Structures are given as C-alpha cells and as structure tokens.
C-alpha cells in the first residue's frame, strides 16, 4: 500500500480500484484526513456504522457551511460569481428546515405515478438502443446504451427539448469534472450557458405549461408555498446532473462486473426473477456514488479516537461502507441474490436519494434487456486498459468497448 496520505482520491487511477485503499483505512485509520483540491482537507469516514452516523445525524454533520460557522461553502472558491452561488440553494446543499421545505415540494411533483408512467417508454428505448448496438462494428456500452438511456429518460421526464440534450451532457461533464480551482474557473461559461438556457425554458413553460416535471415544479404548491425562480433553476440543475450521471455509472460498471463474474452473470440469465436483488447488489458493489457529498462539522466531534473540529470537511465514503465485513458477509464477493442488502448506495437520512425508484427501474430494464438480447457480451479489450473518469464523488467508466 502506497502512503495513504498521497493517494489522489479524485484520480482515474484511484477510481479503477478504490476498494483496497478503503479496506486498509477501515482497518488502520477509519477516520483519516486527506488533502483534496478546492476543499483543501477532508476527513474520510470509512466504516459502515460511522458513515450511517454522518448521514443520519444531520444536526452535527451539516450540509450548509454557515451552520458550521463558515462564511461560505468551501466547495465554491471565493471568486465564484454571486449569480452562480444561487446554485447552492439546491436541496442537497441545505439543512432542515430549508431542505425539508424543498423536499416536500419535489416529492409532490416527482410522484411514483409519474415515474411508473415512464416504464414502458424506458423499455422501448432500451430495446432500440440494443438494436443499434448490434448493428455497430465497435459497440460501446457507455456511449451506445448506458448514457443515452438515462439521459433520454430524465430529459423526457423533465421536458427538456431533444435538440438540447447533447449540450446537457457536455454541461454535466464540465460540472462534475470541476475538481480543481482552475477547472472550476474554466467551467464557468458552460454553467452560465446551462442556467441561461434553463431560465428561458422555465419562462416558456410558465406561459404554456405541458405535462412534464418542469411545469409540475413551476405549479407545485404546498401549504401556500412555492419554489422561487432561483430555487427552481437550482433544483433543475441538481435533477439533470444527479438524474443521469449516477445511473450511467451503475449500468456501465454493473455490466463490467457481470462480465468479470461470468458465474453470477449466468445465474442471472438463468433466473431473471433475481433482477431486483442483482440491481441492489450492483449498486453495493460498484459504488456509482463513491463518496456522499461533503458534510461540515457543526461542532467538535469525537469519532474513533479522533477529534474532528468545528468547520472541518467530512467525506462519508459510501464505497467503503458497502464493503465493510462488519455489515456484509464476504463483502468483496458479487452475489446477485444477496439478501438482506442494506447498502448505502443511495445515501441515508434526510438527503436519501429522491430518484432511487427511477434509478432502480431504469437499471432493471437496462440489465434485463442487455443480458436477454446480448447474453454473450464480452470485453473488447483487457480490463486493465479500460479508462475511468477522474472526478470527485462519483465513480464511472469513460467507455466500455464490447463484442456482442
Ligand atoms: C441524493 C445516489 C439516481 C436525484 C443522492 C444521494 C446519493 C444518491 C448517495 C445522497 C447524497 C448525499 O447525502 O450527499 C444515487 C445513485 C443513483 C441516483 C447511486 C443511480 C444509480 C438519481 C436519479 C435522480 C436523483 C435518477 C433524479 C431523477 C437525487 C437528488 C438528491 C439525491 C435530487 C438530493 C436529495 C436531498 O438532498 O434530499 N443520490 N442517485 N438521483 N439524488 Fe440520487
């Protein structure tokens, strides 16, 4: 094991296999401080019980930096323009009661019924994408399937016009790739372009509402309360980014580990009633969100012989909690029938993922369709040549070339 203080947790090299590093930390240094770009320093919390504590105890582990005595979020450099700071009015960056208020409004607009309406559409899309993959000489699971499926679903759900979708992908990439101050500065024009676009779209929907989530969010009302214009834009940016990137990672990394574990793959092909538990296991095993978004210590906190100071940044490491042998038998073994499976892939506590039902529905359709139609799918290059994306928080492949 290299010096753990020198590991760059945002690098592509780390993303390839972060699990050994976290196994070392769980056993030797379960509360461990590392240097990271922009935020400067962060405590990695790696044991299951401790990650649950961080995510559930939202009084001591807060999202809004001002509740930890800081003047501005460390995740935004001091030079961030004021208009961009409105993006931190998204619910994932707020604590209760501000968070609870936004969450109640989105829960009303983002109903289960609205998601279920999308099931047939997602199935048709998945079948069409597989048809196209089969016709290609060099198919790629990410480019040809894992990316277009969730991107189209979230775009149709929200009501984003088709011609704008490639740009949404580019904007999301820029946003998630902003892992240093320089990259953040370079990403500003794209983020402004995204916000400008959304403001125009919201204005259009205000004039002529449609049966889509943007119109529902404009109209949603709870006890006389509504979303302000800034809150609406921040919510849309959050939904666009959280709503597809993570699912792309799950489908891509999930197909990779199934190809690497042929017995589990065959087991699933032999019994598709295992799809539900297989999706839960792939969520646990592949860590599409490697680290929950940062928390700040609202007070000094003693955790495992370490004192975290008020205002310090904390990273609850989901990828590590989900491989903790104190919680999961044989955690490094893929078991598509694992039950129970209390993984933390969607987080825990008040910020538990809003889109978990949608993500699971899409993933079941995706894995079901790929395995049924392309049961002999195999890698077109050795696994060690695959490229992972350098990024904070999320973990996913850049591309996944295959032979159908
Ligand atoms: C929150 C994971 C798909 C929308 C979260 C969190 C995690 C997560 C870990 C909590 C982050 C934290 O506490 O810091 C995932 C994974 C997905 C997925 C692994 C797919 C495999 C989706 C989809 C949507 C979505 C499809 C929307 C359509 C959100 C939102 C939040 C959130 C809005 C913030 C909730 C809040 O602050 O109350 N997600 N997500 N996610 N997710 Fe997801």
Task: Residue 22: give its domain's CATH number.
Answer: 1.10.630.10
Alpha carbon distance 367, 362 (integer Å): 9
**Ligand 1 atom with minimal separation from the 110 CA:** 28
Residue 79 pLDDT: 66
287 lines ligand 1 (CB under 6 A): no
Three-state SS string across 231-297, please?
Answer: HHHHHHHHHHHHHHHHHHHHHHHHHHHHHHCHHHHHHHHHCHHHHHHHHHHHHHHHCCECCCCCEEE
Question: Distance between CA 313 and CA 292 in Å, rounded?
Answer: 12
- Residue 354 Cβ contacting ligand 1 at under 6 Å: yes
Count of structural domains within the chain = 1
Q: Walk along the chain (404 residues) in steps of 10 and give the mean pLDDT of each run.
A: 82 95 97 91 97 98 92 69 75 94 90 88 97 96 95 92 82 70 76 89 95 93 86 92 90 98 98 98 98 97 97 97 98 98 98 96 98 97 95 93 96
Decide: 285 in ligand 1 pocket, CB within 6 A.
no
From the CA of 316, give the closest atom in ligand 1. 14
ipTM of model over 0.95:
yes
Short-list 287, 322, 294, CA closest to 308: 294
The whole-number pLDDT of residue 282 equals 98
- The pLDDT score that the predictor gives to residue 78 is 66
Atom of ligand 1 nearest to the CA of 244: 26
Domain range for 67 is 4-403
- pLDDT of 261: 98
Our answer on whether the CB atom of 334 is closer than 6 Å to any ligand 1 atom is no
pLDDT at position 74: 66
Q: What integer pLDDT is reported at residue 1 of this predicted model?
A: 64
Please name which of 68, 72, 23, 67 lies closest in space to residue 48, comparing C-alpha atoms: 23
């Amino acid at each position: 094991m290299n010096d753990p203080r020198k590991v760059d947790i945002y690098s592509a090299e780390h993303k390839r296999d972060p699990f050994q590093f976290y196994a070392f930390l769980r056993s030797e240094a379960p509360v461990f401080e590392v240097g990271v770009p922009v935020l400067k320093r962060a405590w990695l919390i790696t044991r299951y019980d401790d990650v649950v504590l961080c995510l559930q105890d939202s009084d001591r582990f807060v999202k809004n930096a001002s509740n930890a005595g800081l003047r501005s979020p460390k995740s935004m450099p001091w030079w961030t323009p004021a208009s961009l700071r409105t993006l931190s009015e998204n619910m994932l960056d707020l604590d209760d009661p501000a968070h609870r208020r936004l969450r109640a409004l989105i829960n009303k607009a983002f109903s289960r019924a609205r998601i279920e309406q999308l099931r047939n559409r997602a199935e048709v899309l998945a079948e069409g994408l597989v048809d196209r993959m089969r016709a290609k000489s060099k198919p790629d699971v990410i480019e040809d399937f894992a990316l277009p499926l969730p991107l189209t679903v979230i775009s149709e759900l929200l009501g984003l016009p088709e011609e704008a979708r490639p740009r949404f992908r580019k904007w999301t990439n820029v946003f998630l790739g902003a892992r240093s101050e320089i990259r953040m500065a370079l990403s500003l024009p794209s983020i402004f372009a995204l916000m400008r676009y959304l403001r125009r779209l919201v204005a259009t929907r205000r004039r002529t509402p449609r049966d889509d989530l943007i119109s529902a969010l404009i109209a949603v009302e709870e006890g006389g309360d509504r979303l302000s214009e800034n809150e609406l834009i921040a919510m849309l940016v959050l939904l666009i980014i959280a709503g597809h990137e993570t699912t792309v990672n799950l489908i891509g990394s999930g197909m990779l580990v199934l190809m690497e574990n042929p017995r589990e793959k065959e087991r699933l092909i032999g019994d598709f009633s295992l799809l539900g538990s297989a999706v839960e296991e792939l969520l646990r095993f592949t860590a599409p969100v490697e680290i929950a978004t940062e928390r700040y210590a609202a007070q000094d906190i003693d955790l495992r012989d370490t004192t975290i100071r008020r205002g310090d940044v904390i990273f609850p490491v989901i990828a590590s909690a989900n491989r903790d042998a104190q919680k999961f038998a044989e955690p490094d073994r893929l078991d598509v029938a694992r039950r129970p499976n209390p993984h933390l892939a969607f987080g825990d506590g008040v910020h538990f993922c809003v889109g978990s039902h949608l993500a699971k529905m899409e993933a079941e359709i995706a894995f079901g369709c790929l395995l049924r139609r392309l049961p002999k799918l195999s890698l077109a290059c050795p696994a060690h040549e695959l490229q992972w994306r350098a990024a904070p928080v999320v973990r996913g492949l850049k591309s996944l070339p295959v032979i159908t």
